Structure 1
Amino acid sequence: MAGRVTIAQVAEEAGVSAMTVSNVMNGKPGASEGTRRRVTEVADRLGYRPNVAARNLKAGRSGLVGLIALDLTSQYGLEILRGVADELASAEQELLVNASYHDAVREKDRVEFLGRGLVDGMLMIAPVLEDETVALLRRQTVPCVIIDPRRMDVPLPRLSVDNYHGMRLGTQHLIDLGHTRIAYLRGLDELESTSIRFQGFQDAMRLAGLDVDERLVASCDFSYASGFRAAMRLIDDHQPTAIVAGADLLALGAVDAARAHGLSVPADFSVVGFDDLPQAAQSFPGLTTVRQPLHDMGQKAARALLSLIDGQRLLMEHMEVGTELVVRNSTAPPAAARPDPAMPHRLDANQADPEGGARRASANR
């Protein structure tokens, strides 16, 4: 059929009213199962697709959701973005992506721009959120959900990961293997999640009766290079047997720092990360890490925003998702604690799997 197929053409072919076709195509009740089947078959045969723009205009909506990310280069942000995009696609919402690139002024400008009625709702990934921007978001009528906020005191709907229990789980794994000299690579100090993860590390150590040696703690900026440099210094000066890092990229830097010292991972040195980015499974050895369900976080935040757009209230303003430990091949008991190689002993399942098949232990509340 030439040209754009109209709702009237579908109605005439199916022998029903245009209103019935509209109700069927929009999933509204009222039509019998036979009528629904006939309308759907005719629409498919003629190639009819509802005019989403017209529908949104009638409903007083744009059909757009705005997203402001801290940057568009990190695998962390891209994994969350994938989850957001997948959820919005299923709801026939389009995504308008912006980046602030760690610039608080640019971030506020983007919030102001999107809040002029251009979008139906906003999502922000790890925003700077200065007080002026928070006040602006609260004044605007456009709903907003914050993903992984830098501050937990923001009076807006927000979603974060269970950083505390996740880091306790990763640290406890090393303790259970027999490590006592465990170094820690912190992330950016201005992030509240950095402090929460560090508290999880400290509590796991102290509950095991181990001292937290401040000389074994280094602040980093979440990059591979920062993790490499910090781990080089720690191994040079203090000889830990293991490192737990506040991010996978830091952990991967630590793995290479250990190798630069002639240490084998995990035979001589163990490393645990936090994120479970794709690189964690692709590295050699596979990186033991605490998984943040980044894709799920994006989907859950998008679902919450769609509920707000529809005028619903959220059951809770602060939503939290759990973490899990993924054990691969970057961790093992410290060399001094291993059985004599001359003595027969049985390999556990993880050691016996050269591909580093993942065991998982839940860390949900």
Structure 2
Amino acid sequence: MADRVGIAEVAKLAGVHPGTVSRALNPKTEDQVNVDTRARVRRAAKQLGYTANSIARGLRTNSSMTIGIIIPDLTNPIFPPIVRGVESCLTGRGYSAFVVNTDGDAGIERTVFESLLQRQVDGFIFGTGHTGPSVAADAYARGIHAVMVNRDAGGVPYPSAVGMDADGIQAAVRHLHDLGHRSIAHFAGPAAFSTSRVRADAFRAACDSLGLERVIIEAGAYSVEAGKAASAELLAIGPQCPTALVAGNDLLALGAYHSVREAGLVCPDDLSIVGFNDMPFAEDFLPPLTTVRVPLFDLGVEAAQLLLDQLETKTIRNIQVALPVELVVRGSTAVPRR
């Protein structure tokens, strides 16, 4: 195996001091080197096949240059775009990420959290916001750098990057009201998640302000199967069943699609359905799903930037970056037939 190329060899070829090479190839310090010199250093590094030694850098900076990303469900389509957004920001700063899945289980979350700590990650991005006792609360008490994404930490003062969920729910209810619906149901996600609370509260407020009848059914998970179970409860109401549904996410909405079809009913004629998140392929549902579009990739970018700022300043600030959402109207909502 050939010897590893070091900074000294790059510096010799580029005709600069080794310290200049180090600054030019470090995303945090590259601005300290003029553009022409930076380009010359990078050409030399590429010619020699030089790659940065992250272990050596970590020893110098007391940093592992790694981040832990903890999410509740890898199969939920909203999380890959968020993770991509996080990584797009981290990579440019020389960081890499460990992505772990908890299946929504508090015990697994604790285990993977401690495992990542043993790997000496520099900080965490949590996508697992709980309203009760949580790993995030323990992490904050221990002074560990972290950020919440898509959800908050139920009172733990970590910074967060979230969508303006309440605005999205209000827009969905207003849209259904304007179509003529006067009784609307909501499938709320698990009560332990902050997103469930925010969306359910916004649904109540929107219906009450418009004088609409409302039914709220708590789903056991943000999943298709949970959407089917909630739909069975909704359709069991019978002739007085609401004519429209605002689901807590697109997977719950998809579960409702299946149940409506199995019951011999038609969406949107018998039940208008609105989802939340605009996950990939939502426009390919039959009919295409009306849903609230959340800028998932941008949420990941913002969360990563919040964490990088935290690591640089060594300060945990309780701030929230809230990104606007948008109601996307498609074929699953229409004027009620009855």
Q: How far 1:49 moved relative to its partner?
A: 2.9
Q: How far 1:53 moved relative to its partner?
A: 2.7
CA distance in 2, matches of 1:255, 1:132: 34
Q: In 2, are the aligned partners of 1:307 and 1:314 still within 8 Å (CA)?
A: no
2:205 pairs with 1:231: no
Single out whichever of 248-257 and 94-103 deviates more from structure 2: 94-103
Q: Which of 136, 146, 153 pairs up with 1:144? A: 146
Q: In 2, are the aligned partners of 1:189 and 1:195 still within 8 Å (CA)?
A: yes
Q: In 2, are the aligned partners of 1:70 and 1:127 still within 8 Å (CA)?
A: no
CA distance in 1, matches of 2:229, 2:49: 59
Q: In 2, are the aligned partners of 1:111 and 1:137 still within 8 Å (CA)?
A: no
Q: In 2, are the aligned partners of 1:244 and 1:271 still within 8 Å (CA)?
A: yes
Q: 1:318 to 1:44 in 2, by over 3 A?
A: same
Equivalent position SS for 2:174: helix
The aligned counterpart of 1:217 is: 216
- With the length of structure 1 as denominator, give the TM-score of the two structures: 0.81
Between the aligned residues of both structures, percent identity stands at: 36
Q: How far 1:32 moved relative to its partner?
A: 4.8
Q: 1:208 to 1:33 in 2, by over 3 A?
A: closer
CA distance in 1, matches of 2:22, 2:16: 11
The aligned counterpart of 1:200 is: 202
Q: Which has the larger radius of gyration?
A: 1
The aligned counterpart of 2:256 is: 254
The aligned counterpart of 2:163 is: 161
CA distance in 2, matches of 1:158, 1:209: 33
Q: How far 1:7 moved relative to its partner?
A: 2.2
Q: 1:303 to 1:29 in 2, by over 3 A?
A: closer
Q: How far 1:99 moved relative to its partner?
A: 2.9
2:191 pairs with 1:189: yes
The aligned counterpart of 2:288 is: 286
The aligned counterpart of 2:87 is: 85
Q: How far 1:330 moved relative to its partner?
A: 0.8
Q: In 2, are the aligned partners of 1:172 and 1:204 still within 8 Å (CA)?
A: yes
**Within 5 Å, which residues of 2 pair with 1:264-275?**
264-275=266-277
Single out whichever of 112-121 and 319-328 deviates more from structure 2: 112-121
Equivalent position SS for 2:87: helix
Tell me the amino acid that sits aligned with residue 224 of structure 2.
Y
The aligned counterpart of 1:341 is: none
Q: In 2, are the aligned partners of 1:280 and 1:286 still within 8 Å (CA)?
A: yes
Q: Which of 304, 311, 316 pairs up with 2:313? A: 311
Equivalent position SS for 1:182: strand
Q: In 2, are the aligned partners of 1:112 and 1:136 still within 8 Å (CA)?
A: no
Q: Which of 61, 75, 80 pairs up with 1:59? A: 61
Equivalent position SS for 2:212: coil
Q: In 2, are the aligned partners of 1:159 and 1:301 still within 8 Å (CA)?
A: yes
Q: In 1, are the aligned partners of 2:67 and 2:121 still within 8 Å (CA)?
A: yes
CA distance in 1, matches of 2:201, 2:151: 18
The aligned counterpart of 1:348 is: none
CA distance in 1, matches of 2:14, 2:278: 52
Q: How far 1:316 moved relative to its partner?
A: 4.5
Q: How far 1:34 moved relative to its partner?
A: 4.0
The aligned counterpart of 1:276 is: 278
Tell me the amino acid that sits aligned with residue 299 of structure 2.
M
CA distance in 2, matches of 1:32, 1:148: 39
- CA shift digits 1:98-123 (9 cap, x unpaired): 33333323323433443357111111
Q: In 2, are the aligned partners of 1:161 and 1:292 still within 8 Å (CA)?
A: yes
Q: In 1, are the aligned partners of 2:183 and 2:213 still within 8 Å (CA)?
A: no
Q: How far 1:128 moved relative to its partner?
A: 4.1
Equivalent position SS for 2:245: strand
Q: In 1, are the aligned partners of 2:158 and 2:318 still within 8 Å (CA)?
A: no
Q: In 1, are the aligned partners of 2:268 and 2:332 still within 8 Å (CA)?
A: yes
The aligned counterpart of 1:94 is: 96
Q: In 2, are the aligned partners of 1:70 and 1:100 still within 8 Å (CA)?
A: yes
How many residue pairs end up in the alignment?
332
Q: 1:22 to 1:152 in 2, by over 3 A?
A: same
Q: In 1, are the aligned partners of 2:145 and 2:316 still within 8 Å (CA)?
A: no
Unaligned runs of 5+ in 2: none
Q: 1:3 to 1:254 in 2, by over 3 A?
A: same
Q: 1:309 to 1:265 in 2, by over 3 A?
A: same
- With the length of structure 2 as denominator, give the TM-score of the two structures: 0.87
- CA shift digits 1:288-330 (9 cap, x unpaired): 0112222222221111111111125466433323221111111
Q: In 1, are the aligned partners of 2:136 and 2:153 still within 8 Å (CA)?
A: no
CA distance in 2, matches of 1:174, 1:301: 33
Q: In 1, are the aligned partners of 2:147 and 2:303 still within 8 Å (CA)?
A: yes
Unaligned runs of 5+ in 1: 337-365
CA distance in 2, matches of 1:91, 1:126: 25
Single out whichever of 178-187 and 39-48 deviates more from structure 2: 39-48
CA distance in 2, matches of 1:312, 1:198: 36
Tell me the amino acid that sits aligned with residue 194 of structure 1.
S
